């Protein structure tokens, strides 16, 4: 504890944290079964050993299992989380010129998916206590063109869906939950992704369940489910001939290999979620009295927090170090960490330079203009979050309690030895 590892001291943590993804012989067996079956694709025509006999696909099995675990009627698996957002929005009737309210503190896909179907993302600021969409700011973002809201359950922490759904109902808006971080998380006992009109999940490499890539739409609406299935499957219609197409769609199917992996990953999810939540809440409790460290609020409606990320906020003046110095020191103490997003979405060149219009997408129909350079003044909380947040990966929370305690020890050590930065600068 006498010296920071950054300046030659002994690191607090000297062994690695759990690796990600987690897999064993079960995943290997599942992949080999698909390989040797020769049935690598989930389209029904690929599953005929003899006329009139079909074999259930792994994709269909995974869709049913994932939907059942989350308490939804329908699950539609697809290629990516971005594809899932596109499918759900299009199936909900969102199209060119429609406005979709999104938070600016999230991955690009939450805003690019509306653009990819010709709709207009409108950025609304976040709550500083949760980093989720702030319901108090939503109505000021609503215009006569608004058709949908996409609340993101950021880091796996449930957004305030009660207030968001009440606003949406009054204004006749579709609510699409972006649950890309929230596998197995819940609000008031209901799994996230099943509470709005639809919810989407991602199975990209960093997510709490992964097949390297993949996505899924959950919904309780049979009509929306049928449309999603058609859009992801080249506009086909269930029960109709193979080469009969009813609407312009994509080819967004997942493979049987991905589905086989995800079936095994889903079996691990309950225990992993419980471990992450236990360790995440332990961290919150132990960091509560460290000067300059602010943990995110876990509101009373949160039943299960998936802790896709463990996020803390650093008050540089109170802690006595800048964030860049803090991140450098924490990393050298053996704690994997990052600063997360360097800027809100609207500061990306594609928004600042209106690059989507140059690509021919119908963002601004006649009489409709939007200037994203004005968003910094509308989203000060998101601006600040990009300056003071510290992210720790969810795999770190899969260890034992003493592994998590090392994070606390490292942060306390950095605070106690913060003067070493000034001495090193002399």
> Which residue numbers are catalytic?
207
Helices (H), 353-400: 355-358, 375-378, 380-388
Report the sign of the C-alpha dihedral through residues 187, 397, 400, 315, in that order. Answer: negative
Q: Are 295 and 286 in contact (CB under 8 A)?
A: no
In terms of phi and psi (left: phi > 0; alpha: psi -120 to 50; beta: otherwise), the region of 403 is alpha
Helix axes 81-91, 222-231, angle to 10 degrees: 120
Q: How many CB atoms lie within 10 A of CB 360?
A: 7
Mapped to the 3 state alphabet, what secondary structure does 235-295 carry?
CCCCCCCCCCCCCCCCECCCEHHHHHHHHHHHHHHHHHHHHHHHHHHHHHHHHCCCCCEEE
- Cβ atoms of 193 and 199 within 8 Å: the answer is yes
Are the C-beta atoms of 206 and 200 separated by less than 8 Å? Answer: no
Angle at 325 between CA 324 and CA 328, to 5 degrees: 85
Alpha helix stretches (DSSP H) within 158-213:
161-171
- Is 125 within 8 Å of 104 (Cβ atoms)? yes
Residue 224 gets which letter from DSSP?
A: H
Rounded Cα distance, 73 and 223, in Å = 12
Residue 69 · residue 179 · CB < 8 Å:
no
């Amino acid at each position: 504890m006498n010296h920071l590892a950054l300046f030659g001291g002994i690191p607090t943590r000297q062994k690695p944290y759990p690796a990600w993804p987690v897999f064993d012989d079960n995943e290997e067996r599942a992949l080999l079964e698909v390989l040797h079956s020769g049935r690598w694709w989930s389209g029904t025509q690929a599953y005929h050993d003899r006329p009139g006999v079909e074999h259930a696909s792994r994709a269909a099995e995974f869709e049913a299992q994932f939907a059942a675990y989350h308490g939804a009627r329908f699950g539609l698996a697809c290629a990516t989380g971005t594809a899932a957002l596109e499918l759900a929005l299009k199936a909900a009737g969102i199209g060119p010129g429609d406005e979709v309210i999104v938070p600016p503190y999230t991955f690009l896909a939450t805003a690019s998916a509306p653009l990819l179907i010709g709709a207009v993302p409108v950025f609304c600021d976040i709550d500083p206590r949760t980093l989720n969409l702030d319901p108090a700011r939503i109505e000021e973002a609503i215009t006569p063109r608004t058709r949908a809201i996409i609340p993101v359950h950021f880091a796996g922490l449930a957004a305030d869906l009660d207030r968001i759904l009440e606003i949406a109902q009054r204004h006749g808006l579709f609510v699409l939950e972006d649950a890309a971080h929230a596998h197995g998380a819940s609000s008031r006992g209901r799994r996230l992704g099943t509470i709005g009109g639809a919810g989407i999940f991602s199975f990209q490499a960093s997510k709490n369940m992964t097949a390297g890539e993949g996505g899924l739409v959950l919904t309780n609406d049979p009509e929306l489910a049928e449309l999603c299935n058609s859009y992801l499957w080249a506009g086909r219609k269930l029960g109709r001939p193979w080469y009969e197409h009813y609407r312009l769609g994509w080819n967004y199917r997942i493979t049987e290999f991905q589905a086989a992996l995800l079936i095994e990953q889903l079996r691990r999810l309950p225990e992993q979620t419980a471990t992450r939540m236990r360790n995440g809440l332990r961290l919150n409790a132990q960091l509560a009295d460290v000067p300059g460290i602010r943990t995110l609020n876990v509101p009373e409606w949160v039943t299960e927090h998936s802790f896709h990320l463990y996020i803390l906020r650093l008050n540089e003046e109170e802690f006595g170090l800048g964030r860049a110095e803090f991140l450098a020191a924490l990393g050298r103490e053996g704690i994997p960490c990052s600063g997360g997003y360097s800027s809100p979405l609207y500061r990306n060149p594609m928004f600042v330079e209106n690059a989507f219009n140059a690509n021919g997408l119908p963002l601004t129909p006649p009489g409709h203009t939007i200037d994203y350079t004005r968003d910094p003044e509308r989203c000060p909380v998101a601006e600040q979050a990009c300056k003071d947040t510290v992210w720790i990966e969810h795999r770190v929370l899969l260890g034992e309690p003493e592994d998590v305690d090392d994070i606390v020890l490292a942060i306390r050590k950095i605070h106690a030895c913060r003067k070493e930065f000034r001495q090193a600068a002399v």
